[in-house]
Amino acid sequence: MTKVTPRIQAGFMELLPGEQILFNKYLKIIRDTYEEYGFVPQDTPIVENADILFSEIGEDTKKEIYRFSKGGDDLGLRFDLTVPLARYVAMYYNQLTFPYRRYQIGKVYRGERPQKGRFREFYQCDIDIIGNGSLSLANDAEIPAVINRVFEKLDLGDFLISINNRKILSGLVDSLGSLNKIDEILRAIDKLEKVGQETVRLMLIEDLGIKSGDVEKIIEFVKITGSNKQIIDKLESFDIKNDLFDTGVNELKEVVKMAFDFGVPEKNLQIDLSIARGLSYYTGTVYETKLLDDRIKGSVCGGGRFDNLADSYTNQRLPGVGVSIGLTRLFSQLISVGIVKADTSAVAKVLIVPMDKVSAFSLKTASEMRMAGIPVEVFTEDDKFRKKLTYANKVGVPYIAIIGEEEEKLKKIALKNMETGDQELLDIKTVIKKIQNI
């Protein structure tokens, strides 16, 4: 029989058990933290009607969509979780209670040409808060609190949440008479770190036709550094008569203050006037998060405030604020540079190893431990005892429970700690207590 070569598409992450266990641990931390902050789960289809997907995107992203037809319908795979959110909120507007605070953790698809660090299928872990007509700035402050808590719990070392408000730079640009080019300017500024100051300068002058003196002002401005207080002081003393600028500064000041009240430590949140976020739908607060370990490239989490989420689908004004963690890319980097590693490929805490054949007593022991909530695996195959131990070592289970004739007679279990090698003969109740107390 001719075999089909087992393979997957490039750009699709698939993990071996040990790594998958670790990945799922991260997913769980993110999910649990989102729920701790009162976000409710959302789960939208991966397949959407093409006109929904195409309603708000640029030509570049359009090309990346996996598009197909079925039964005469023009369909595609979702490329982010924001478009489905907008569609959902417009569709169930009358049944939702606002502010609608939801999280969605799911796979999205971008059919890019495969290249290192780029994925065609990847997890996004999104939270958004959507208001009906209006939404207070306290929500802009809560988002960094959630992200801070997630990254504290993920325990991947120091991290920094950068925060800015697009109205500030927009106000500056407005005062220079170039507000009509603001989206392009923000996109150029967003590339500062990637392409460097000189290239951005040329983009602003040559591509956008901004006067050289104005470009200097813009670049000098986004390079302002200092503590949060120093930056706010500097912004407040800035000699610009522009309402947009002033609103932006006030919003940023208030959001940063409230974020600290929400429990974000000062060291983890920093105003950075160069943060712009490329996407044109952001209108106020913007965020980016980086791990301070410089082996991890790029932002691991970004987002911001948008004035009107769903205007492609409804006349309702639905402002919102949210953020997205790109877990697949982060995880893949963590593994490839060795910051984390999978040290077990077992979820079981105990492996029951029958000395000979599987006995009723072994099965009952497993059942009793499971009823107590302990993850247990039974080695059921008729192998030599030595081979069973090899299996236990390979999967990295922390304890094995050896059960032979002697143990069965005594109704006891020989519990072996696989790390220390210690072995004790215990009754089942004692074993359960011992494992539960780890």
Positions 171 through 230 that interact with its own copies (CB under 8 A): none
Instruction: Find, among 377, 398, 386, the residue nearest to 355 by Cα.
Output: 386
User: Helices 138-154 and 17-36: crossing angle, nearest 10°?
Assistant: 150
What is the distance between the alpha carbons of residues 357 and 295, in angstroms, rounded to a whole number?
50
Question: In the complex, what is the shortest distance from the CB of residue 219 to its own copies, in angstroms, rounded to a whole number?
Answer: 35
DSSP label of 237: T
Question: In the complex, what is the shortest distance from the CB of residue 358 to its own copies, in angstroms, rounded to a whole number?
Answer: 5
Closest CB to its own copies among residues 87, 201: 87
- Contact stretch for its own copies (CB under 8 A) within 85-93, 162-170, 298-306, 415-423: 85-93
Question: In the complex, what is the shortest distance from the CB of residue 319 to its own copies, in angstroms, rounded to a whole number?
Answer: 11
Tell me how far the alpha carbon of residue 186 is from its chain's centroid.
24
Closest CB to its own copies among residues 16, 438: 16
Instruction: Find the binding residues for its own copies in span 43-72 (CB under 8 A).
Output: 43-49, 51-52, 55, 66-68, 70-71
What is the distance between the alpha carbons of residues 165 and 246, in angstroms, rounded to a whole number?
11
- Contact stretch for its own copies (CB under 8 A) within 5-13, 192-200, 229-237, 245-253: 5-13
Structure tokens at 178: 């170039």
115 makes contact with its own copies (CB under 8 A): no
**DSSP-based three-state secondary structure for 74:** strand
Residue 11's Cβ-side half-sphere holds a number of Cα atoms within 13 Å equal to 14
- Contact stretch for its own copies (CB under 8 A) within 206-214, 215-223, 255-263, 404-412: 255-263
What is the distance between the alpha carbons of residues 382 and 112, in angstroms, rounded to a whole number?
48
Closest CB to its own copies among residues 20, 247: 20
Instruction: Find the binding residues for its own copies in span 387-426 (CB under 8 A).
Output: 391, 394-395
Contacting its own copies (CB under 8 A), which of 58, 59, 97, 115? Answer: 97
Contacting its own copies (CB under 8 A), which of 29, 57, 138, 426? Answer: 138
Question: In the complex, what is the shortest distance from the CB of residue 268 to its own copies, in angstroms, rounded to a whole number?
Answer: 14
Instruction: Find the binding residues for its own copies in span 323-362 (CB under 8 A).
Output: 345-348, 351, 358, 360
Instruction: Find the binding residues for its own copies in span 360-389 (CB under 8 A).
Output: 360, 363-364, 366-368, 370-371, 373-378, 380-382
What is the distance between the alpha carbons of residues 324 and 335, in angstroms, rounded to a whole number?
21
Contacting its own copies (CB under 8 A), which of 177, 196, 263, 278? Answer: 263
Q: How many residues make contact with its own copies (CB under 8 A)?
A: 107
48 and 78 Cβ atoms separated by less than 8 Å? yes
Contacting its own copies (CB under 8 A), which of 29, 91, 160, 205? Answer: 91
**DSSP-based three-state secondary structure for 124:** strand
> Per-residue b/e over 208-233, b at no fewer than 16 CB within 10 Å?
eebeeebbeebbebbeeeeebeebbe
Instruction: Find the binding residues for its own copies in span 300-319 (CB under 8 A).
Output: 310-315
Structure tokens at 364: 């009952």
What is the distance between the alpha carbons of residues 268 and 292, in angstroms, rounded to a whole number?
10
Question: In the complex, what is the shortest distance from the CB of residue 1 to its own copies, in angstroms, rounded to a whole number?
Answer: 7
Closest CB to its own copies among residues 360, 438: 360
What is the distance between the alpha carbons of residues 147 and 415, in angstroms, rounded to a whole number?
41
CA distances from 390 to 19, 222, 418 (A): 20, 59, 11
Quote the Cα angle for 69-85-38, to 5°.
Answer: 145
What is the distance between the alpha carbons of residues 319 and 330, in angstroms, rounded to a whole number?
29
Contacting its own copies (CB under 8 A), which of 87, 305, 329, 416? Answer: 87
Instruction: Find the binding residues for its own copies in span 8-27 (CB under 8 A).
Output: 8-9, 12, 14-17, 20-21, 23-24
- Contact stretch for its own copies (CB under 8 A) within 134-142, 154-162, 211-219, 229-237: 134-142
DSSP label of 382: -
Instruction: Find, among 54, 103, 111, the residue nearest to 83 by Cα.
Output: 54
1 makes contact with its own copies (CB under 8 A): yes
Closest CB to its own copies among residues 24, 180: 24
Closest CB to its own copies among residues 188, 264: 264
75 makes contact with its own copies (CB under 8 A): yes
Question: In the complex, what is the shortest distance from the CB of residue 41 to its own copies, in angstroms, rounded to a whole number?
Answer: 5
What is the distance between the alpha carbons of residues 45 and 48, in angstroms, rounded to a whole number?
7
